[in-house]
Amino acid sequence: MPASLVMRTQEPHHSVFVTSRTEGNPYATGCRFTLNEKLYCYGVLQRGGELTVEDATCDPDWVDNDDMEHGMRFYIGYPLKWPDGTVFGTICVLDTRRNRRALLFREGLQEFARVIEADLELLIEIDRRITLESELQATLDQLEHRVASRTADLEEANAALRVLLSSVETSREEYDAKILRQIKGLVIPHLSKLHGRLTRDPAGRAYLELAEDNLKSITSDMSGQLTTVFEALTPTEQEIAQLIMRGQTTKDIARTLSREPSTIEFHRNNIRAKLGLKRSGQNLRSLLLSIQ
Query: Domain locations in the chain?
Result: 3-104, 124-193, 198-290
The pLDDT value given to residue 46: 94
Please give the Cα distance from 146 to 140 (Å, whole number).
10
Q: Rounded distance, CA 253 to CA 236, Å?
A: 11
Beta bridge partners of 70: none
Which stretches does DSSP call E strand in 22-168? 32-34, 51-53, 74-81, 87-95
pLDDT tens digits for range 171-226: 877 877 777 777 766 677 677 677 777 777 888 878 878 887 777 777 665 445 66
Count, residues in the chain: 292
- Could you give the 3-state DSSP secondary structure of residue 35? coil
Q: How far apart are CA 132 and CA 117, in angstroms?
A: 23
Q: Is 219 exposed, middle or buried (0-12, 13-18, 19+ CB in 10 A)?
A: middle
Nearest to 194 by CA among 207, 180, 181: 207
Q: What is the pLDDT of residues 248-269, one digit of tens each?
A: 999 988 988 888 999 999 998 8
The Cα 51–Cα 256 span in angstroms is 122
How confident is the model over 15-66, as pLDDT tens digits? 999 999 998 899 999 999 999 999 999 999 999 999 999 999 999 999 999 9
pLDDT, position 221? 53
In contact, 89 and 10? CB cutoff 8 Å = no
Span 70-126, pLDDT tens digits: 999 999 999 999 999 999 999 999 999 999 999 999 999 999 999 999 999 999 999
Q: Indicate the CATH number of 3-104 among 3.40.50.1820, 3.30.1490.100, 3.30.450.40, 3.40.630.30.
A: 3.30.450.40
- Is pTM beyond 0.85? Reply is no
Report which of 231, 210, 212 is spatially closest to residue 275, judged by C-alpha positions. Answer: 231
The mean per-residue pLDDT over the stretch 225-242 comes to 78
pLDDT band at 292 (very low <50, low <70, confident <90, very high): low
pLDDT of residue 91: 97
Chain centroid to CA 200: 75
User: Could you tell me if 247 and 220 are in contact, meaning their C-beta atoms sit under 8 angstroms apart?
Assistant: no
Q: What is the mean pLDDT of residues 272-280?
A: 80
User: How far is Cα 51 from Cα 43, in angstroms, rounded to an integer?
Assistant: 7
The sign one gets for the Cα dihedral 248, 250, 252, 256 is positive
